[in-house]
Each structure stands twice: as structure tokens, then as C-alpha cells.
């Protein structure tokens, strides 16, 4: 009955929007009522309060400035009608209110084993009946989905970041100004240092709302505090809450308006923070986390609307990624491959919009040359070292160790290139990077070194799936690849790289490849892979060859 009464109250005030005088009088009291319900002990009341506040505060006609919010607090008697911002500020200024609110919202993130990790339950499925859920989540169906860009980066998936929670803090700051910022700073000190993941989750949501609020006024001190806390998050050794903090960063830099092309005020400072190099002594998990954060930040930047500063960020990041492709940690190499995919595709799309803008800074796609030329050379070098290793290095152990280290570094670089290819195919931008993928395809799959068996197995499983879902669709729909171009990228006719051609129809819905193997035996390691496309009267025949 309490839940139904609150929902009726919300419906009544929404129905009174056509009466501005009445609506302005009851909006403040109703919003204050639901604001207090955020710290309710009843889960369903908290969830309805979240929905109600996002609905009531969504139409704020202005952003509260520091001067306006401070003046309303110092001289409330000058207002004949109590404004919504003033009443909400009075509630927020109550001792312990913000801390209790954050603590109550953190309980929503405690998900039992039976609930699973589904974000649709919002952590309350074990507390609510079916009728309560129907009442509580009525308005969630009308909320705009976030993020607007595809969520394909698996390194930061599986989190419990709720954008509706972040939106509450953003709307409160826009409505009330600096008093909310100050209260959140005081309350978040405890939550940011907590080791409990539920508290880290709600801290990430509050930080996301603060970073994306764009409230007017002198917020230099507030933004400095936010950047300091963000830097602490990047350098923190804990990795349990990485998905939530990645979503926080993604929410903070995502574009404004329906098109998502207007950059938030603090986007540049967030990118500055992420581009700051971490100390050499940090753990590899911290470095991988930083590259993951860079990936989710760059993917929210609209390539067609990139500012000169954002273009320079891409150049700086690409230089760092290309220099670290041979990192000793497999986790870091995978994160570098994903970040390279996002950065390279953004640069390619931005170059398509305005050719020549990035040419002066990048040297006519220098990253493409460094990737493709180096990959072919590394592939040949690794194969040659593998064949002559025992003959040439048996008598000199010191030389063997030196060559082993170089070969290991080359293999790690090739593994990073492999992760770049996988990310490019999964990202939905395979058509943009199609020439890069084709140039890298043969060098990656032609490795025959013993310690690269694991990579070859990954190639057989992940790469086939990605090709079937990503690249084949791009080739079939857009017909971007011609046989002459592909043949120039695949060396044929050499004794150790003989080709056996098989042709057949392209089947959709299954693996679109026909495999052939010479001297096949169960358990024998695959050696090299080739693929060829043919365009005949508008239809494509895709052949995947194995020698």
C-alpha cells in the first residue's frame, strides 16, 4: 500500500504539469519526499524513488550555479515560494543524509547467487514480489538506454553500474549546484577507500554523475578533487571493481544531447588524467586497467566531431601503445590490442571526415605502416629462427639466450597484433580497418614456433568466430575486398607455403569456411592458413585454406 500510494503521488504530479502554478508549488515537496526515500530501508521504495527523481528532475530548465545556490541558502526568506533546489539543498545539508543515502544505495549492488549478475533485477529481486516489481519498474522502461555506443569490450564487462543512479547525482547537482558537490565529496571519502565492491559501485556511480553534470560556476576546486580521486582509482591495486569504474569513465566522457556529439566540460581533464603515464613500479594489472580505461574513454568520442585536442590525444596514445606491444604481461598485451583498435579506428574515421587534418601529426597513417610492415618481418624472422635454432645456436649458449629473448619479444608483439585483429572484428568497425586486417592475417596465422601453439589454437577458435560474424558480413555486404588485393597480401608458390585452393558457396549462419589439410592426422599441429575471396556476378565465394 505504501508503494502504491507513492506511485499515485508520482502520477498525480506528472498529470499536473499542464498547470504551471500548481506544479511549481508541489514539485519541490514531492521531489524532497522521494529524495528522503533514497535512504529508505525498503528496497522497493528506494527503487521507486530513483525512478521518480529521474522523472521529476529530468526537465530542469537550467543548471544551478555556485552563486545562485549559495544565495538561496543565505537568504531563503526572499523567496515567496520555496524553490525545488532550495528544499533539496536543505535535505542534503542534513547531518549524515548523503552518507546514509550512499549506504542504502550500496545495498542494491549486493547480488545473491540466485539473482545472478543480470542488471535488470537491480539487485532487488530477492526482496520484492511480482506486483511490487511491476509498480517499481514501471518508469524504467521509458528511460533512455545508455551507453549509446556498442558495448563490445569484454575486458571491462560484467559490471553492476546503474546509469539511473549516476543520473540522480547528475540531476541533483544541476538542480542544486555546489552544496550537493560538497556533500558528496565528504561522503565519498569513506566509500572510495572501502574494499567492499558494493561501496565501490555506488562511489563509481556518484563520481560519474559529478563528472557529467557540467554545472556552471567556479568548479576548479571540485574538478581538481575529482581528478585526484580518479587518479587514485587508476593506481589502486584492487581489480574487483574495474568494470564499474570503467563504466564510470565511459559515462563521464560520453557526449551530450541526443546525438551525443557535444563533449562534456570535464572530458578533456578526464583524458589528461588517463593519458598520464603510471610509474614503472606498478603491477601489470594496474597498467592493464589503465589501458582498459583508455579504451572505454576513446570509444565514446565521436570521430566525426573530434576537436584538435582530442586528435592529439589519439596521436599520443597510439605512440605509447605501439611502443609497448612487446610487454611481458599477457593481460597488458590484450588490453593494448583493444586500445589500439579503438584509437586506430577513430583516427581512420576522423581522417575520412577531413583528410589532411591528422596527416601532419601522424605522418599519413604511420601506425598502419608500423603494424603491417613490422608484422610481415616478424613473421618471417620467427619462422627462420625456428628452423635454424638448433643448428646455429647449439655451440653458443650466450648467443642462444640473446636470440631467445629477441624471438620472445617478437612473438609477444605478434600476440598483441592478434588481439588487435580480434578486437577489430568484434568492434563492428571491421570495414574501416579491413585493409589492416587483411595485411595482418597471414603473418599472424603463419607462425610455426612451438611456444606459439597456444596462439594458433586461439586463432582457430576466436578468429574463425569473429571472421564469420564480423569480417564476412563486411565483405559480403560492401564487397570491399578484391582478389588481386588479397593475393598481393598472401605469399604463394614458396616450398614451405604451398596453397591448395578449394571453392564453394558462402553459407551464412555457420562457419563460412572450407578447410583442407595436407597429411592431416589427429592431434597434428596446424601450420599455416590462407584465405581467398572471389567476386562472381555480385556473389562472393569465401575460401579458407589450410596447408
Q: Which of 322, 342, 343, 344 is nearest to 333 (CA)?
A: 322
DSSP 263: P
Question: Are 375 and 414 spatial neighbours (Cβ–Cβ below 8 Å)?
Answer: yes
Question: Are 45 and 2 spatial neighbours (Cβ–Cβ below 8 Å)?
Answer: yes
Pairwise CA distance, residues 363 & 19, whole Å: 61
Cell 580480434 sits on residue = 422
216 by DSSP, 3-state: which?
coil
Pairwise CA distance, residues 387 & 496, whole Å: 11
Q: Return the pLDDT at 1.
A: 85
Cell 570535464 sits on residue = 266
Q: Return the pLDDT at 188.
A: 92
307-311, 332-336, 377-381, 464-468, range with the lowest pLDDT:
464-468
3-state secondary structure 394-447: CCCHHHHHHHHHHHHHHHHHHHHHHHHHHHHHHCCCCCCCHHHHHHHHHHHHCC
Pairwise CA distance, residues 6 & 539, whole Å: 60
Confidence of residue 455 (pLDDT cuts 50, 70, 90): low
Confidence of residue 496 (pLDDT cuts 50, 70, 90): very low
Q: Return the pLDDT at 396.
A: 55
Q: Return the pLDDT at 270.
A: 95
Q: Evaluate if residue 487 carries a pLDDT over 80.
A: no
Q: Evaluate if residue 509 carries a pLDDT over 60.
A: no
Q: Return the pLDDT at 434.
A: 86
The two counts, helices (H) then strands (E), for the chain are: 24, 2
Q: Which residue has the higher pLDDT, 258 or 280?
A: 280
CA torsion sign for 309, 314, 317, 322 is negative
Confidence of residue 346 (pLDDT cuts 50, 70, 90): very high
What pLDDT digit, counting tens, does each position of 97-116 carry? 999 999 999 988 875 444 44
* Residue 538: strand pairing partners: none
Confidence of residue 228 (pLDDT cuts 50, 70, 90): very high
Spans of all domains in the chain? 2-300
Q: Evaluate if residue 174 carries a pLDDT over 50.
A: yes
Largest CA distance in the chain: 95
Phi-psi region of 532 (alpha: psi -120 to 50; beta: other; left: phi over 0): beta
Confidence of residue 244 (pLDDT cuts 50, 70, 90): very high
Pairwise CA distance, residues 169 & 188, whole Å: 12
Q: 124 is written with which cell numbers?
A: 532487488
147 preceded by a cis bond (ω within 30 of 0): yes
DSSP 536: E
Task: Give residues with Cβ within 8 angstroms of 186, minimum separation 6.
Answer: 98, 99
DSSP 528: -
When pLDDT is averaged across residues 411-425 and rounded to a whole number, the result is 88
Q: Evaluate if residue 93 carries a pLDDT over 50.
A: yes
Question: Are 411 and 325 spatial neighbours (Cβ–Cβ below 8 Å)?
Answer: no
What pLDDT digit, counting tens, does each position of 154-165 carry? 666 667 888 889
H-helix segments, 108-162: 130-136
Amino acid at each position: 500500500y505504501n508503494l502504491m500510494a507513492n506511485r499515485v503521488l508520482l502520477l498525480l504530479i506528472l498529470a499536473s504539469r499542464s498547470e504551471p502554478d500548481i506544479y511549481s508549488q508541489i514539485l519541490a515537496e514531492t521531489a524532497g519526499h522521494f529524495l528522503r526515500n533514497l535512504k529508505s530501508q525498503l528496497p522497493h521504495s528506494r527503487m521507486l524513488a530513483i525512478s521518480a527523481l529521474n522523472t521529476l528532475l529530468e526537465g530542469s530548465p537550467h543548471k544551478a550555479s555556485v552563486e545562485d545556490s549559495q544565495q538561496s541558502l543565505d537568504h531563503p526568506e526572499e523567496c515567496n515560494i520555496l524553490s525545488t533546489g532550495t528544499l533539496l539543498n536543505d535535505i542534503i545539508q542534513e547531518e549524515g543524509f548523503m552518507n546514509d543515502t550512499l549506504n542504502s544505495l550500496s545495498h542494491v549492488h549486493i547480488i545473491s547467487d540466485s539473482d545472478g549478475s543480470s542488471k535488470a533485477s537491480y539487485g532487488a529481486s530477492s526482496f520484492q514480489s511480482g506486483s511490487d516489481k511491476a509498480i517499481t519498474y514501471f518508469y524504467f522502461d521509458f528511460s533512455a538506454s545508455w551507453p549509446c555506443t556498442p558495448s563490445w569490450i569484454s575486458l571491462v564487462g560484467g559490471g553492476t553500474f546503474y546509469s539511473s543512479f549516476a543520473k540522480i547525482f547528475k540531476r541533483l547537482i544541476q538542480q542544486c549546484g555546489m552544496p550537493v558537490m560538497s556533500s558528496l565529496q565528504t561522503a565519498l571519502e569513506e566509500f572510495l577507500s572501502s574494499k567492499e565492491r558494493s561501496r565501490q559501485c555506488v562511489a563509481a556511480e556518484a563520481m560519474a554523475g559529478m563528472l557529467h553534470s557540467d554545472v556552471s560556476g567556479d568548479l576548479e576546486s571540485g574538478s581538481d578533487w575529482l581528478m585526484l580521486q580518479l587518479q587514485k582509482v587508476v593506481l589502486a591495486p584492487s581489480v574487483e571493481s574495474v568494470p564499474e569504474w570503467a563504466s564510470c569513465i565511459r559515462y563521464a566522457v560520453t557526449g551530450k544531447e541526443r546525438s551525443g556529439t557535444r563533449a562534456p566540460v570535464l572530458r578533456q581533464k578526464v583524458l589528461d588524467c588517463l593519458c598520464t603515464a603510471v610509474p614503472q613500479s606498478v603491477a601489470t594489472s594496474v597498467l592493464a586497467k589503465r589501458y582498459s580505461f583508455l579504451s572505454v574513454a576513446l570509444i565514446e568520442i565521436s570521430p566525426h566531431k573530434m576537436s584538435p585536442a582530442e586528435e592529439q590525444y589519439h596521436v599520443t596514445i597510439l605512440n605509447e601503445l605501439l611502443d609497448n606491444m612487446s610487454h611481458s604481461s599477457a593481460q597488458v598485451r590484450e588490453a593494448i590490442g583493444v586500445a589500439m583498435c579503438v584509437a586506430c579506428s577513430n583516427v581512420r574515421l576522423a581522417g575520412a571526415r577531413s583528410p589532411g587534418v591528422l596527416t601532419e601529426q601522424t605522418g599519413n597513417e604511420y601506425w598502419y605502416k608500423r603494424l603491417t610492415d613490422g608484422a610481415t618481418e616478424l613473421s618471417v624472422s620467427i619462422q627462420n629462427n625456428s628452423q635454424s635454432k638448433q643448428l646455429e645456436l647449439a655451440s653458443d649458449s650466450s648467443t642462444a639466450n640473446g636470440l631467445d629473448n629477441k624471438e620472445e619479444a617478437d612473438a609477444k608483439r605478434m600476440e598483441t597484433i592478434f588481439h588487435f585483429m580480434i578486437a577489430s572484428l568484434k568492434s563492428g568497425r571491421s570495414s574501416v580497418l579491413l585493409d589492416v586486417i587483411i595485411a595482418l592475417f597471414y603473418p599472424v596465422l603463419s607462425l610455426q614456433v612451438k611456444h606459439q601453439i597456444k596462439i594458433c589454437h586461439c586463432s582457430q577458435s576466436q578468429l574463425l568466430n569473429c571472421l564469420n560474424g564480423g569480417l564476412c558480413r563486411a565483405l559480403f555486404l560492401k564487397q570491399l575486398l578484391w582478389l588481386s588485393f588479397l593475393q598481393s597480401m598472401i605469399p604463394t608458390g614458396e616450398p614451405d607455403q604451398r596453397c591448395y585452393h578449394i571453392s564453394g558457396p558462402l553459407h551464412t549462419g555457420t562457419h563460412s569456411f572450407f578447410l583442407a589439410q595436407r597429411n592431416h592426422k589427429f592431434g597434428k599441429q596446424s601450420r599455416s592458413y590462407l584465405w581467398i575471396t572471389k567476386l562472381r556476378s555480385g556473389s562472393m565465394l569465401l575460401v579458407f585454406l589450410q596447408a
